[in-house]
Amino acid sequence: MNINPVKSLKEFLEISSSSIAVCFYLSTSDCNVCKVLKPKVIEMIEKNFPQIQFCYIDLNEAKEISGQLSVFTVPTILVYFESKETIRVSRNIHISELQDLISRYYSLIF
């Protein structure tokens, strides 16, 4: 899977407004939970939702994004469908629950 690093608010806005479906994974480089969860999220999206683009945002590099999107905890996963934030989950994220949430919207669009 091609993982797109997002480094600015401008880049985030361009991707979120031009993609049919995109998952943003927001974390920091020093978050151990994030390091364990990220490969699981990537695998789940690759396997079950091939039409969803995956983007990684390191909030240490893109501080403006956390303020503009009101992201105050990591990891946070934002899923956009048709340029709208549809799913937002933070901190205690269960892969199966996230998969069920994404599946509802994904099946309507694809």
Sequence-distant (≥ 6) Cβ neighbours of residue 1 within 8 angstroms: 42, 45, 46, 54
The structural domain count of the chain equals 1
Give the domain range for residue 83: 3-109
* pLDDT value at residue 3: 86
**Packing angle of the helix pair 95-109, 32-48 (nearest 10 deg):** 40
* pLDDT value at residue 92: 87
pLDDT-above-90 percentage for the chain: 92
* pLDDT value at residue 42: 97
As a whole number of angstroms, the distance between CA 67 and CA 14 comes to 17
pLDDT in tens, 30-64: 999 999 999 999 999 999 999 999 999 999 999 99
What are the residues facing 80 on neighbouring strands? Answer: 22, 85
Q: What CATH number corresponds to the domain at position 62? A: 3.40.30.10
Instruction: Please give the mean pLDDT across all residues of the chain.
Output: 95
pLDDT in tens, 56-109: 999 999 999 999 999 999 999 999 999 999 999 998 899 999 999 999 999 999
* pLDDT value at residue 4: 86
